[in-house]
Structure 1
Amino acid sequence: MKKVLIATEKPFSKQASDGIKALLQEKGHKVRTLEKYTDVNQLYEAVADVNALIVRSDLITKEVMAHAPNLEIVVRAGAGYDNIDLDAATQKGIVVENTPGQNSNAVAELVFGMTVMYIRKFFDGSTGTELLGKKIGIQGFGAVGRCVARIAKGFGMEVYALDTFAPEEVFEKAGVHHVKDINELYKTCQFISLHIPANSETVKSINYELLSKMPKNAVLINTARAEVIDEEGLIEMFQNREDFGYIADVAPKNKDLIAERFPKRFFFTPKKCGAQTSEANNNAGLAAAVQVNNFFESGDKKYQVNL
C-alpha cells in the first residue's frame, strides 16, 4: 500500500476528486486530500509521509520535497509543469510526470471565447469584427495548438503554425500552413495564439521587436505562461500601436498600468482558468490517478518529464 496525497490549492471538482480517489483506492492505496490550503507549512506537514503527489498548479519546490522523504512520484494534472522543481526532483530520485492532452480542448475553447468577446467589443453594442477569413498564427503546435487549429478552421480562419519540435506530418495532418520562421509568423498573422512553455529560451521572448511586425488590428492571445511576455515591450507595443490588443489567461505583473492607460484594449481572466472545466478536471485528474497506479504497479514512466 502506498500513500497518495492530492494537494490542490485550487481543488478538482467533486466528481473528479471522487473519481481519482476511487481509482487509487481500487489498487489498495491510501488517499488523502489537502484542498484550498493557504500556508505552505500545511503542505510541508501533509507530504511528510506520502509516496505520491497529485497536484494542479501548486508549487512543488525543493523545500516541499525536503519535507517528503518517502516521495517517489509527482504527477501534475495538466500539461505545463514549470510549477515543479525538476532539478530538485531529479537529484532526489523523484519521478515527475504530466498528463499531456487532457486539458487541451478546454484551453483551446477559452482562446476563442476570449477572442470573440474582444473583437466584438465586449458585447457593448458597438460594431465589432469577425474571424471569418482572418489569419491566425499558432506558436507551439502541441496538443492545445492542434485543438486551436481545429476550432479556427471551424470559424473559417486561415491557420498558420510554428513549432520547431513537431515533425512535418503533424502540420500536414492538421491541414495548416507550416511556418518555420517566427518573424514570418508574426508578419503574416493578425491573431497570434501562444502555446509555449516558460523556459530559458522563451522567457521574455515575445518582445516589442516581434510584436511590432504584426499586421493592423493585431491581437495577441496568451493562454500559456505570463513569463514568456516581455512586459516592457508589451507596454511599448500598446503605446506605439493603437490598433493592438492583448488578451490573456495569465495576467502580466503590470496589469494595473495597462488597465489605467489602455482601457478596452485588453482582457485578463481573474485567475488562470484555461483548464477549469468539469471535463478537463475529470480528464486530467483521472489520467493522473492512472499514471500513479501504473508507476507503482509496473514502474511505468511513460509521461516522465524530468529525464
Structure 2
Amino acid sequence: MKVLIATDKPFAKVAVDGIRKEIEAAGFELALLEKYTEKQQLLDAVADANAIIIRSDIIDAEVIAAAKQLKIVVRAGAGYDNVDLEAATAAGVCVMNTPGQNSNAVAELVFGLLVFAVRNFYNGTSGTELMGKKLGIHAYGNVGRNVARIAKGFGMELYAFDAFCPAEVIEKDGVKAVSSVEELYSVSDIVSLHIPATAETKQSINAALLGRMPKGAVLVNTARKEVINETEILEFMESRPDFKYVTDIVPGNDAEMKEKVGGRYFTTPKKMGAQTAEANINAGIAAAKQIVDFIKNGSERFRVNK
C-alpha cells in the first residue's frame, strides 16, 4: 500500500516525520513529492499511489485518471474545493478533509488582521479598539467557534449566522444567532467570513450585502477568494471611504485594489490561515491516521464526496 504526500507547499519536517511514523507503523510505504513545478510531475507520482495526502494542491479529473490504483485522497485542512469530487466519486475514490485541525490557527490570524485593520494598519494615526464592537461570524463551524472563543477575550458582542447550524447550538456558546445573512451584516461592525466556496456562496459577498454594514465597518476574509465579488467590493470601497477589507487570499484585482483603496485594504502574499507549525503538524498527522483507518477498517468518517 503506497501513500503519497503531494505538496507544492511542503509540510514541515516534523509533520512529515509524524506522517511517516503513522504510515510505516501500519505497514504502508510513504512517498514524497514536494515543491513540484509542473503538473506532469504530479501525474507521474500518482501513477502507483493508493492514497494521497495534499494541502492546496489541485486533484482534478486528469490527476484522478492517472492514478489507477487510487483509493483515497485526504486534504490536510478543512477546505476541499481543490479536489474534483465528481471525478473522484466516478472513479470510486474516497475524498476526505481534516476538519478542526487548522481552526485555531485560522482564528488567531483573524484577530491579527483585525487589530492591524482597526489600528489603521499601524500608520501612526489614531485607530479604534475591538472591545465593545459587534462581531458577525459568517458560518459557525470549527473556525467560527474558535473566533467566538477568542473574541470573548476582547470583550466583543458576538453574532453569527449559519444556515446549517441550529440557533440553540450557537446561543449556548454565548453568541447571538441571527436569522439571515442580511441581518448579520446589518448588525455587525466587523464580519469574519468562514463560508466555503459553493454554488450558493460564490460571489455572494457583494456591494448590496456590504452596504448594510455601519460606518467604519471591517470585513475580514480567511475563507475563500471565490466568495467575494471582487469587482463589486472595489466599487463599494471607492464609494465608502470608511470601509476596510483585510484578507489572507490575494484577490484577482489586487493591483487595482492597492492603487485605488490601498490605505484601507490589505492582503498577505499568500494564504496564511493554516501556516503555523502546530496546524501543519496536526492536519498532516490527522490525514495519515484517517488513511490508515480507511484502508484497515473502512472508516469513512470524514468523507466529503458521495
For residues 7 and 40 of structure 2, what CA distance do their matches in structure 1 show? 14
Counterpart in 1 of 2:20? Answer: 21
Secondary structure, counterpart of 1:267 in structure 2: strand
Deviation at 1:133, TM superposition (A): 0.1
Equivalent residue number for residue 232 of structure 1 = 231
Aligned partner of 1:186 in structure 2 is: 185
Deviations 1:270-295 (A, max 9, x none): 00010000000111011000000000
Q: Secondary structure at the match of 1:10?
A: coil
Does 2:89 correspond to 1:90? Answer: yes
Kindly state the Cα deviation for residue 173 of structure 1 after the two structures are TM-superposed: 2.4
Match of 2:156 in 1: 157
TM-score w.r.t. length of structure 1: 0.98
**Aligned counterpart, 2:295:** 296
Q: Which amino acid aligns with 1:278?
A: A
Which amino acid is the alignment partner of residue 73 of structure 2? Answer: V
Give the superposition deviation at 1:181.
1.1
Counterpart in the other structure of 2:215: 216
Structure-2 separation of matches of 1:168 and 1:122 = 35
**Within 1, Cα distance between the matches of 2:59 and 2:298?**
22
What amino acid sits opposite 2:237 in the alignment?
Answer: F
Letter in 1 for 2:201: T
Residue 143 (structure 1) aligns with: 142
| Pair 1:101 & 2:87 matched | no
Q: SS where residue 170 of structure 1 aligns? A: helix
Partner-residue secondary structure (3-state), 1:19:
helix
1:172 Cα deviation from its structure 2 partner: 2.3
Q: CA deviation at 1:208?
A: 0.5
Q: Which amino acid aligns with 1:304?
A: R
Cα offset for 1:200?
0.4
Quick one: which amino acid aligns to residue 167 of structure 1?
A: P
Aligned residue pairs, count: 306
C-alpha distance in structure 2 between counterparts of 1:116 and 1:159, whole Å: 17
CA RMSD of aligned residues (A): 0.7
Alignment-derived partner of residue 32 in structure 1: 31
User: How far off is 1:102 after superposition?
Assistant: 0.4
Code of the residue aligned with 1:188 in structure 2: it is V
Query: 123-132 or 147-156: which moved more?
Result: 123-132
Local SS of the residue matching 1:193: strand
Deviations, residues 38-91 of structure 1 (Å, cap 9, x unaligned): 100000000000100000000000000111000000000000000000000000
Deviation of 1:128 after TM superposition, in Å, equals 1.1
Paired-residue identity, %: 57
Q: Counterpart of 1:220 in structure 2: which amino acid? A: L
Q: Which runs of 5+ in 1 are unaligned?
A: none
- Cα distance in 1 for partners of 2:145, 2:135 equals 12
TM-score using structure 2 length: 0.99
The 3-state SS of whatever aligns with 2:135 is strand
Q: CA deviation at 1:124?
A: 2.6
Corresponding residue for residue 267 of structure 2: 268
Q: Distance in 1 between matches of 2:118 and 2:263?
A: 11
Secondary structure at the counterpart of residue 160 of structure 1: strand
How far apart are the structure 2 equivalents of 1:226 and 1:28? 39
